[in-house]
Chain A
Amino acid sequence: MNRKAIVQRSRRGMNNSNILLMITIGLFIVMYTAGSIVYADKGFDHLQTFLNILINNAGLICVACGMTCVLLTGGIDISVGALIGMVCMFMAVGIEFWGLSSPVLMILILLIGITFGLVQGLCVGYLNIQPFIVTMAGMFFARGMTAVISTQQVTIKSDEFFVMLANLKFFIPFEIGAYVNSKGRLMVPFFRLPVIIALCVLVAVFLILRYTRFGRSLYAVGGNQQSAALMGLDVKKTRMKAYMLSSFLCAIGGICYVLNTMAGTASQAAGLEMDAISSAVIGGTLLTGGVGNVIGSFFGVLINGTISSLVKTHGKLISSWSNVVTAILLCVFIVLQAVFTKLKENRKR
Chain B
Amino acid sequence: MKIKRAIKKITGMQMFLPIASMLLVMAVNIIYDVSNGNAVFNFFTISLRNGVLFGRIIDILNRGSEVAILAIGMTLVVSAAAGADISVGSVMSLAGGMCCMLLAGFGNANVSQYAVPLWVGLVAGLAIACLCGAFNGYLVSYLNIQPMVATLILFSAGRAIGLLLCNSTIVYVRVPSFQFLGGYFWMLPTPIIIAAACVLVMSLILKHTALGMYIQSVGINKNAARIAGFKSRRIIFTAFVISGLCAGIAGLVATSRIYSADTNNIGLNMELDAILAVALGGNSLGGGKFRLAGSIVGAYTIQAITTTLYALGISSAQAPVFKAVIVILIVTIQSPAVTAYFERRAVAKALRANKEAMRV
A residues adjacent to B (C-beta < 8 A): 76, 78, 123, 126-130, 132-134, 136-141, 143-148, 151, 266, 271, 274, 277, 287-288, 318-321, 323-324, 326-328, 330-331, 334-335, 338-339, 341-342
> How many angstroms from the CA of A271 to the CA of B159 in the assembled complex?
11
Distance of A331 Cα from B139 Cα, bound (Å): 9
Q: How far is the CB of B174 from chain A (nearest CB, A)?
A: 24
- B157 lies within 8 A of A140 (CB): no
B21 CB-CB contact with A under 8 Å: no
Indicate if the CB atoms of B155 and A132 lie closer than 8 Å. no
Q: What is the chain B residue whose CB lies nearest that of A323?
A: B160
Residue pair B318, A320 in contact (C-beta under 8 Å): no
Considering only CB atoms, which chain B residue lies closest to A274 in the complex? Answer: B156
Given contacts A132-B83, A141-B324, A144-B319, contact A335 B143 (CB under 8 A): yes
30 A–B contact pairs at CB < 8 A? A76-B149, A78-B152, A123-B332, A126-B337, A127-B336, A127-B338, A132-B83, A133-B327, A137-B325, A137-B328, A137-B331, A138-B324, A140-B323, A141-B320, A141-B324, A146-B317, A271-B156, A274-B152, A274-B155, A274-B156, A287-B145, A287-B146, A287-B149, A318-B168, A320-B163, A320-B164, A323-B157, A324-B157, A327-B160, A338-B143
B161, CB-defined interface residue at 8 Å:
yes
Report B224-278 residues with CB < 8 Å from chain A CB: 269, 272, 275
**B321 interfacial contact with A, CB 8 Å:** yes
Nearest A-chain residue to B340, judged by Cβ:
A128
A123 contacts B328, C-beta separation under 8 Å: yes
- Of all chain A residues, the one with the shortest Cβ separation from B86 is A136
Nearest CB in chain B to that of A319: its residue: B168
Chain B's closest residue to A147 (CB) is: B317
Inter-chain CA distance A332–B121, complex, in Å, is 30
Does residue B19 face the partner (Cβ distance < 8 Å to A)?
no
Are the CB atoms of A323 and B324 closer together than 8 Å?
Answer: no
The interface centre, meaning the residue of B139, B149, B163, B323 with most chain A CB atoms within 10 A of its CB, is B149
Contact B84 A132 (CB under 8 A): yes
Q: 1/0 per position for B308-337, CB-CB distance to A under 8 A?
A: 000000010111111111011001100111
Whether A277 lies near B86 (C-beta < 8 A) is no
Determine whether the beta carbon of B163 is less than 8 Å from that of A132: no
Q: Which of B138-175 contact A (CB under 8 A)?
A: 139, 143-146, 148-150, 152-157, 159-161, 163-164, 167-168
Give chain A's interface secondary structure class: helix
Chain B nearest CB, measured from A66 CB (Å): 17
The 10 A-B pairs of least Cβ separation, nearest first, read A144-B321, A147-B317, A327-B157, A323-B160, A144-B320, A141-B324, A140-B320, A320-B160, A274-B156, A140-B324
Q: Please, which residue of chain B has its CB at the minimum distance from the CB of A119?
A: B328
A144-B317 contact, Cβ under 8 Å, with A137-B324, A277-B152, A334-B153: yes
B128 in contact (CB, < 8 A): no
Q: Which of B167, B285, B325, B337 has the largest count of A CB atoms less than 10 A from its CB?
A: B337
A142 CB to closest chain B CB (Å) equals 8
Chain B residues 91-146 with CB under 8 Å of chain A are: 139, 143-146
Is A130 touching B285 in the complex (CB atoms < 8 A)? yes
- What residue in chain B is nearest A322 (Cβ atoms)? B160
* Size class of the contact patch on chain B: 35 or more
Do the beta carbons of B269 and A140 come within 8 Å of each other?
Answer: yes
Taking a contact as CB atoms under 8 Å apart, the answer to whether B337 and A128 are in contact is yes
Question: Which of B161, B167, B317 contacts A151 (CB under 8 A)?
Answer: B317
Residues on A with C-beta less than 8 A from B338 are 127
Asked if B331 contacts A133 (CB within 8 A), the reply is yes
Residue contact A127 to B335, C-beta cutoff 8 Å = yes
Please give 12 more A-B residue pairs, beta carbons under 8 A apart, in addition to A130-B286, A132-B83, A148-B318.
Answer: A123-B328, A123-B335, A133-B285, A137-B324, A144-B320, A144-B323, A318-B167, A320-B163, A323-B156, A324-B160, A335-B139, A338-B144
Residue pair A140, B272 in contact (C-beta under 8 Å): yes
With a CB–CB cut-off of 8 A, which chain A residues contact B163?
318, 320
Name the CB-closest residue of B to A339. Answer: B143
A146 cross-chain contacts in B, Cβ below 8 A:
317
> How many angstroms between the C-alpha atoms of A241 and B162 in the bound complex?
38
Given contacts A133-B285, A334-B145, contact A147 B164 (CB under 8 A): no
A126-B337, A151-B315, A318-B167 known; A137 vs B160 contact (CB < 8 Å): no
Contact yes or no, A144 B332, CB < 8 A: no
Given contacts A320-B160, A334-B150, contact A127 B321 (CB under 8 A): no
Tell me the B331-358 residues at the A interface (CB within 8 Å): 331-332, 335-338
Q: How far is the CB of B158 from chain A (nearest CB, A)?
A: 9
Tell whether A76 pairs with B148 under 8 Å between CB atoms, given A129-B332, A133-B275, A327-B153: yes
B168 to chain A, nearest CB (A): 5
Contact of B332 with A128 in the complex, beta carbons under 8 Å: no
- B145: chain A residues at CB < 8 Å are 287, 334, 338
Q: Give bound CA distance, A132 to B328, whole Å.
A: 12
With A and B bound together, what is the CA distance between A152 and B174 in angstroms? Answer: 32
The interface residues of chain A lying within 8 Å CB-to-CB of B153 are: 327, 330-331, 334
